[in-house]
Amino acid sequence: MIRDPELLDQLIDTISRFVRERLIPNEARLADEDAVPTELLVEMKEIGLFGLSIPEEFGGLGLTMEEEALVAMELGKTSPAFRSVFGTNNGIGAQGILIDGTPEQKARYVPRLATGELLSAFCLTEPDSGSDAASLRTTAVRDGDHYVLNGTKRFITNGPEADVFTVMARTDPSNKGAGGITAFIVEGDTPGLKRGPADKKMGQKGAHTCDIIFEDCRVPAANIIGGREGQGFKTAMKVLDRGRLHISAVCVGVAERLVEESLNYAIERKQFGVPLAEHQLVQAMLADSKTEAYAGRSMVLDAARRKDTGENVSTLASCCKLFCAEMVGRVADRAVQVHGGAGYIAEYAVERFYRDVRLFRIYEGTTQIQQLVIARNMVREVS
């Protein structure tokens, strides 16, 4: 489904060079300052990273799923926080509006998301609910031509900086399931929208999250995605396949970077008079990591190609997310082990990646949620 192999090669080469020459040298700075340097944000916008998956008619690059996966693998070879800043614009921040939004909503928001003029965030998770739609407590009550939102959202990526939020709120109190939930577009300067302090996290410094609090926040009824109540959770589910494949591809890229770091260290470092790479137990760890990274790459590209042909890949996307998120954790653990004591020291990239990759098993649906999705789909297909 690659539409123009030559152009794709040029794009991947450009991004690979950007990662190698601009992002990797600034990884320590990103972690120390807990922020993506402003000049790098400008370069990201110029390259088009904020509009990778947004159609060309709205100013994006309009990549197919396979093309996006290949690009995401290159982006995965540096600190995940760099990708996080523009990831939502390509995912639920724009895709929900593109799939179910009104023409007016698409025209107002999507072009500015594609250029990075607007930074987006997605508000679903709450203090007492994540994947469980029935526990969602944020409410939206109709008041004339507005809705009044009240509630708190938690762990919201880009929350401290976002200009526009996609917010899931319950518009039908009598419907405790997904059908009672509506998706709203809420602009960041709307009165009643408050941002909590930035969370202090285990890893992924520079990728900011915080609570988003709604206190009598008045949102125009015209800002319901698609203009209809009760479709919000369904909208979110429609973009999950792409999001899960994207994250899986990032996991593959991180794993490949860790394999490279481990191999280079094992070749350079000597023990008992010979390089670590000549010790069979170290070779076994290198071989296992290489094999798992290759398996992840193969899975993601196969599922991405199937999605591009129009096949329903819900099960396969969850398989990819489950395997790749767990796989990169194992690869990171081996990378620290290959480095020995040095792997526990912040001077080496593997120490930071070891903490960073732990999040992949949690967001975009935890490993356990992926297991449920896969198993339920299997049973449903047979039944």
Catalytic residues: 364
- CB of 335 closer than 8 Å to CB of 350: yes
Which residue pairs from 39-47 have beta carbons closer than 8 angstroms and sit at least 24 positions apart in sequence? 40/82, 41/85, 41/116, 43/18, 44/82, 44/85, 44/86, 44/116, 45/115, 45/116, 47/14, 47/15, 47/18
Instruction: Confirm if 30 and 19 have CB atoms less than 8 A apart.
Output: no
Please report, for residues 63, 97, 276, the alpha-carbon distance to residue 49 in angstroms, rounded to integers and kept in the order given: 11, 18, 38
- How far is 323 from 72, CA to CA, in rounded Å? 17
Across the chain, the runs of DSSP E, i.e. the strands, are 120-123, 139-143, 146-157, 164-170, 181-187, 193-195, 209-220, 270-271, 274-275
Rg, Å, the chain Cα set: 21
